[in-house]
Amino acid sequence: MKIVRDLMHPGLLTCRPDATLGQVSVMLTQHHVHALVVADRDGRPIGIISDYDLLAGEWLSADSQSLTTMRHLTAGELMSSPIDTVEASLSLGAATQQLIEKDINRLLVTDQGAPVGVISISDFVASIAGEEKLLRSTVADVMSDAILVCREKTPLLSAARTMTQAGWRSVLVVDAKGTPVGVVSGKDLLPCVQDGVDEKLTVRDIMHSVLTIDMHAQLREAADLMIQKHYHRLVVVDKDDQHAFPLGIISSFDIVAEMARPGSTWQK
């Protein structure tokens, strides 16, 4: 039986508590990761900050005063704390249970209490597919005009494998005409880690509904929608042609990548 240690990413990517949101966004983008462990001067983990947390930067910057405040906000102030942990020797099922129950995306892995790595939903998706998880050395996850799609009848295992191979966190489900009908994310696949994958299952059985946003919407509107609805990605559509094949997908990571862009408001 596989244990947490078998799937985790060993080592910790950390940032200091006084790092600004702009600095954190650069680190996330450079390392192609979705979260950093916030560590104190002695390297002790005190919290986790994710790309989703950074959405707050856009979400709450409704005016110049708020933007100034958010630009000065630090990782230590925005991080989730305390960190949810799991022992490296525990079963994957126990870790999955914790992710589902707490509705979180990652756990700090400890070995007899000492932090040794991180395990995230993407690691579990890779385990379902029976694939080695690829390092995100491409910009695929940041691209918004390329979309990973499948049909409703696509076997679940196939979707998991494709997501892992492409290094994507979700796959868009479309009908015969290309109209979006659902999304499958790592979170949807988590129960399969616990219960095992029924080969008859298709993406239709586990997909969740699509949340769309107009191509002309402000980035802040996208952040607002993601946070209010607790979605990590939105399907970008042309509101004048709702049933057409979508124009792209915008994820929390895309917004962070924009925050990290040299010359953006967050880097001044």
Partner 1 sequence: MTSSSIGMGDQDRLEREKFENELKRILNASDAAGIIMRVIGSLAFQKHCQKYGYLQAAMGRAYTDIDFAAYHRQSKEIQAMMAGLGYHENREVFIVSEGNRAIFERPEAGLHIDIFYEKLDFCHAIYWKGRLEVDHPSIPLAEMLLEKMQIVQINEKDIIDTIMLLLEHPLGDEDHETINIKKIAELCSQDWGLWRTTTMNLGKVRQLAQGYEQLSSEEKGIIDSQVAAALNRIEQEPNPLAWRLRARVGDRVKWYKDVDDVQ
Taking 3-state DSSP, the helix, strand and coil percentages for the chain, each rounded to the nearest 5, stand at 40, 25, 35
Least distance to partner 1, CB of residue 24, Å: 14
Interatomic CA distance for residues 238 and 217, integer angstroms: 10
Residue 177 makes contact with partner 1 by CB under 8 A: no
Least distance to partner 1, CB of residue 60, Å: 5
Least distance to partner 1, CB of residue 228, Å: 6
Residue 215 makes contact with partner 1 by CB under 8 A: no
Residue 145 makes contact with partner 1 by CB under 8 A: no
Least distance to partner 1, CB of residue 20, Å: 13
21: how many CB neighbours lie within 10 A of its CB?
Answer: 25
Residues 22-51 that bind partner 1 (CB under 8 A): none
Contacts of 113 (CB under 8 A, 6+ apart): none
Residue 181 makes contact with partner 1 by CB under 8 A: no
> Among residues 6, 18, 40, 77, which is the contact residue for partner 1, using CB under 8 A?
77
Cα–Cα distances (Å) from 1 to 50, 52, 198, 240, in that order, read 30, 32, 18, 52
79: how many CB neighbours lie within 10 A of its CB?
Answer: 23
Stretch that binds partner 1, among 4-12, 74-82, 162-170, 195-203 (CB under 8 A): 74-82
Cα–Cα distances (Å) from 13 to 3, 5, 81, 125, 247, in that order, read 22, 17, 16, 21, 33
Q: Which residues bind partner 1 (CB under 8 A)?
A: 52-53, 55-56, 60, 65-66, 69-70, 73, 77-80, 103, 227-228, 230
